[in-house]
Structure 1
Amino acid sequence: MRVLIAAGGTAGHINPALAIAGAIKSHCPAAEVHFAGRRGGMEYGLVTRAGYPFHHIEVNGIQRSLTPKNLLRNAQAAYHLALSGPRARRMLRQLRPDLVIGCGGYVSGPVVRCAAKMGMRTAIHEQNAFPGVTNKLLAKDVDVIFAAVPAAVEKLGAPEKTSVVGNPVRPEIFMQDRALARAKLGAGTRTVILSFGGSLGARRINEVVAELAAWEQAQQRPLLHLHATGSRGVELFERLAKEKGFASGDSLRVSEYINNMPELLAAADLVISRAGALTLAELEAVGRAAILIPSPNVAENHQYYNALELQKAGAAVVLEEKELTGEALIAQVERLLSEPGKLAIMGKMAHTLAEPESLEKIWARLAALMELK
């Protein structure tokens, strides 16, 4: 069996695609799994490091802010879009896959659409509560639809062929020992707060976390706060530390990146972060309370709708960036810390949303589609 997976743009699309690829190889070792994406995108590095063949197709999104630079980008995007259909058909004729799966990102649109028109068996996976434009357009053409949450089913427009399977989570998330992870950090009985805004960093999150860090040190609470600034936030956070009079040390540990996220999630009691689908799936898998700050700079404001699912379940507090201040974040943290057992209860509610059998459900549906025993 030969499978082609199209995914790109963000880790929230690519990592679930890699997890699905791993499940296919686990159940069907002889399967050939190929990937399609942009060579200049994040997907190229992640896919090639995982050892899968990579096929380049250039598809770009339209920029909504019409600056001179973006007008040029939009002209290039229109050019690549016009060529994407013929390029996708050429790729499919060369590979002749038995199954084509789209996991989101602009690149999955022409690949999956062409595959469906050519009579190939097709599937898509939607990671968000508010589906992206690409998957909404593809839903009517594909054979199977996987949705991460029930809220996406009706929005995708084809409930009769949609299965709710959650978001696949990397196996390392489930393999951590919480007591060992906390011991390695020297956390003791302290409450561990983990905060981050992505690999590049989110300026507003760095700003309000700096105010929170100053408050924590002034209050001298028994906390261990782990914060990742992102590459663009290193100098900003250092400057804010000087301005607000707090410092890194035993109670506050600041890094640029988090290279051991599974371990830190295992140790944490409260997570402060964006609300990307992958992050939320990992929070649910480990059962962690969260304060979620959805990015306002994403299509269809989908992070906000993702975050609402956890807030409705009592697993998280949602703070929209337009209303986000240091005072607002401090007030929420203080409220959560002041109520004994609150974080543990929220964590248990998060865990009720987890789909630990996500990959098994996806494989079962794909095997049925492919008529595999």
Structure 2
Amino acid sequence: MRVLIAAGGTAGHINPALAIAGALKKADPTAEIHFAGRREGMEYGLVTAAGYPFHHIEINGFQRRLTPKNIARNFQAIYHLALSGPRTAVILREVQPDLVIGCGGYVSGPVVRAAAKKGIKTAIHEQNAFPGVTNKLLAKDVDVVFAASAAAVEKLGAPDKTLVVGNPVRPEILTQDRAAARAAIGAGDRTVILSFGGSLGARRINEVVGALCGWEQKTHQNILHLHATGSRGVQLFKDLAVQEGFTPGPDLVVKEYINNMPELLAAADLVISRSGALTLAELEAMGRASILVPSPNVAENHQYYNALELQNAGAAVVIEEKDLTSEKLIETVEGLLATPGRLAKMGQQARTLAQPRSLDMITERLLALVKTGR
């Protein structure tokens, strides 16, 4: 079996694609799995580090806000779009896939569409409750549509061939030992708060979490707080420490990046973060309470719609960035901590949304699809 997976742009597209690739390889060790994406994108490093062959294709999205800079980008996007057809044809000839899977990002569009036109078996996976434009356009052409959320089914426009499977998460997320994870960080009986805003860092999240850290230390809360600033927030958080009067130490651990996310999620009682699809899938799989701050800078405001599903289930509190103040965050955390068992109950509600068999469901359907032949 030869498989070509197209995914790019963000970890929320690429990590599910890698999880699917790993599951297919486990099910069929003889499978040859290739990836298509941008060499300058995040996908190149993640895919090649995982050991899969990588085929470069340059494709960019169009900018809706028309500024001189964005107009220039749109001309470049048109140029790359014109070249994407011939480049896709070359990739398909090289790989000769039995199956092509699109996992999101602009790169999925030309690759999956060309494969479908050739009669190659095709599938897409939509990670968000509010589908992206590319997947909405592809849904009518592919053989199978995988949706993470039931809310996305009608929006994708192909309900008769859409399966709700959730978002596949890394296997290590499902195998963590909470007691061991808490012991490893010396949590004791403290409430563990884990906060982060992405690899680059989210300025507003850093600012309000800084105020929260100041409140925790001034009021002597029984909290162990673990915070990742992101690369752009390192100096900002140092400045906030002076401004808000907090000091990293036994009750506050500050890092630029979190390299052991599965372990820290296992140890946490409350997570403060953005609401990307991958993050939410991991919160659900782990059963963790959360305060979610959707990024306002994503297409179709999909992080907000993702987050609403957890809030509606009683698993999270959603605060839009336009409403996010230091006072609001402190008030929310204080309220959650005031009711014994509240965080545990929210975590239980999060787990009801999880799809622990997501990868199994996807793999079974893809293998059945390939068996039907071209």
TM-score range, shorter chain: over 0.9
Equivalent position amino acid for 1:134 in 2:
T
In 1, Cα distance between the equivalents of 2:9 and 2:347? 30
Equivalent position amino acid for 1:179 in 2:
A
Structure 1 residue aligned with 2:102: 102
Equivalent position amino acid for 1:206 in 2:
N
In 2, Cα distance between the equivalents of 1:244 and 1:270? 22
Equivalent position amino acid for 2:66 in 1:
L
SS of the equivalent of 2:5 reads strand
Residues 279-358 of structure 1: matches in 2 within 5 Å? 279-358=279-358
TM-score relative to the length of structure 1: 0.98
In 2, Cα distance between the equivalents of 1:52 and 1:62? 29
Residues 17-166 of structure 1: matches in 2 within 5 Å? 17-166=17-166
Q: CA deviation at 1:296?
A: 0.3
Structure 1 residue aligned with 2:197: 197
Supply the RMSD in Å over aligned alpha carbons: 1.1
In 2, Cα distance between the equivalents of 1:347 and 1:198? 22
CA-to-partner distance for each residue in 1:146-172, whole Å, 9 max, x for gaps? Answer: 000100001000000000000000011
In 1, Cα distance between the equivalents of 2:103 and 2:96? 19
CA-to-partner distance for each residue in 1:64-84, whole Å, 9 max, x for gaps? Answer: 333333332222111101111
TM-score relative to the length of structure 2: 0.98
Equivalent position amino acid for 2:167 in 1:
N
Flag structure 2 segments of 5+ consecutive residues without an equivalent: none
Q: CA deviation at 1:245?
A: 1.1
In 2, Cα distance between the equivalents of 1:42 and 1:353? 28
In 1, Cα distance between the equivalents of 2:63 and 2:204? 22
Number of positions where the alignment pairs a residue of Structure 1 with one of Structure 2 = 373
CA-to-partner distance for each residue in 1:84-123, whole Å, 9 max, x for gaps? Answer: 1221122112221100000000000000001011111100
Structure-2 change in CA distance of 1:187 and 1:372 (3 Å): farther
Structure 1 residue aligned with 2:360: 360
In 2, Cα distance between the equivalents of 1:181 and 1:117? 49
Equivalent position amino acid for 1:46 in 2:
L
In 1, Cα distance between the equivalents of 2:18 and 2:372? 21
Q: CA deviation at 1:248?
A: 0.7
CA-to-partner distance for each residue in 1:11-33, whole Å, 9 max, x for gaps? Answer: 00000000000111011111100
Structure 1 residue aligned with 2:274: 274
Q: CA deviation at 1:372?
A: 7.1
In 1, Cα distance between the equivalents of 2:158 and 2:171? 30
In 2, Cα distance between the equivalents of 1:150 and 1:262? 26
Equivalent position amino acid for 1:53 in 2:
P
Q: CA deviation at 1:124?
A: 0.2
SS of the equivalent of 1:370 reads helix
Is residue 2 from structure 1 mapped to residue 7 from structure 2 by the alignment?
no
SS of the equivalent of 1:232 reads helix
